[in-house]
Amino acid sequence: MPPVPRPHRLLRLLSAAGLGFIPVAALAADAGGGTVQNGFRPLDWLVLAVYVVVLLAIGFRYSRRQDTTETYFLANRNMKPFMAGISLVATLISTISYIALPGELIQNGPVYAGLYIAALPITYFLVGWLIIPAIMRLRITSAYEMLEARLGRPVRMTGSVTFILTRLVWMTLMLYTTAKVLVSVLGWTPSWITPVVVLIGLVTTVYTLCGGIGAVIITDVVQFFVLVIGALATLICIAVQLPGADWWPATGPTHWAPQPFFTTDPQVRVTMLGTLVCTVIFWVCTTASDQLAVQRCLTTRDAGSARRAFLVNNLGDAVITLILTVVGLALLAFTVTSPGCCPPA
């Protein structure tokens, strides 16, 4: 198989779906040597405008219901498990996920994605039956109240500051990556990245401040399905461009290095056992200490509801991981068989 297409080409192809705005015209060039057009068409701008208006409308609608602190931060502990679970999926995925998962498949094969999904049942057992009941027994608002109750106020402050700093860096990367992808899709110069970052941050801040966690969860659910539709739209566009089943590679590329089950060789990038263990540790740590995850659990009624919410999260996580892995396969086939449709280097 020919060499893997250069990452920035794949970035621009995938960005159409990764942002969730579904400007699929970027993939609709003629397979016989067409070129990708930069910029949004009127329909793309309409979809984007409607998307932003819907997010803001949800925030303003929920702003009229914020009469207590528990309503604002915990949605009266009455959120449906499905909504809380999907919100957790949408909270922890991002534009980086949309680029990284297909890129991982293209560069290294499907082993990581398969083992990540395989580890989710283990995390469900540990988190659902050990961690969630311990959290839901306490009438708390944040994960760090548990630290103060068990270990004192200094430990709580340390945990809170660590969370804030970590998530500030995380959100900075999310905003920058999203803005960079959008500017690339639009064909604008890099000088537009800062204004786009400000605009995205402003819209997100407005509906979050106005609507509280209730609005955040609803918008998360909307964003999750928009992102899924965007990824599926990418698959459909590629399938239309390529005849028959050409969008599904018949054989694996020769550059996919074998991934051993276990090795002590430090030059080996990942192992199967390492992927399983890291996935389990990530979810245990996240649900036990990360306010983003803990708060979703606390918005539900009881431990059983929170457990069902985490099950929904695992199922949604598996679905989106599988879809993005297939998108990676399709993009690999598309860029190899139709190089004229790729954005210029």
How many of the other CB atoms lie within 10 Å of CB of 307? 22
Which amino acid, residue 36?
Answer: V
Residue 1 lies in a domain: no
pLDDT at position 283: 94
Q: Residue 344: inside a domain, yes or no?
A: no
Distances (CA, A) of 235 to 22, 181, 319, 334: 12, 19, 15, 10
CA 240 to chain centre: 26
Per-residue pLDDT averaged across 69-78, rounded? 92
Percentage of residues in the chain with pLDDT exceeding 70?
A: 85
Reply yes or no on whether the pLDDT at 13 is more than 90. no
The whole-number pLDDT of residue 28 equals 38
Do the domain assignments include residue 331?
Answer: yes
> What is the average pLDDT across 38-44?
78
Residue-wise pLDDT for 185-210, tens only, equals 888 999 999 999 999 999 999 999 99
**Residue 148 predicted with pLDDT over 60:** yes
Q: 116-142: per-residue pLDDT in tens?
A: 999 999 999 999 999 999 999 988 999
pLDDT tens per residue across span 291-340: 999 999 999 999 999 999 999 999 999 999 999 999 998 888 887 776 66
Residue of 14, 280, 295 whose CA lies nearest to 122: 280
- Asked whether residue 146 is domain-assigned, the answer is yes
In a domain, 228, yes or no: yes
| Average pLDDT rounded to a whole number, residues 77-102 | 91
- Report the candidate in 318, 297, 287, 315 with the shortest Cα–Cα distance to residue 81: 297
In a domain, 342, yes or no: no
Whether residue 316 lies inside any domain: the answer is: yes
| In a domain? residue 345 | no
- Tell me: pLDDT of 214 over 90: yes
Asked whether the beta carbons of 334 and 241 are under 8 A apart, the reply is yes
Judged against a pLDDT cut of 80, whether residue 34 lies above it is answered with: no
Residue 25: per-residue pLDDT:
36
Which residues span the domain enclosing 142? 7-335
Total structural domains within the chain: 1
Cβ-based neighbour number of residue 191 at 10 Å: 8
223-282 pLDDT tens trace: 999 889 988 988 888 888 777 677 777 666 777 888 899 988 888 888 999 999 999 999
**Can you give the pLDDT at residue 333?**
84
CA–CA separation, 120 vs 275, rounded Å? 11
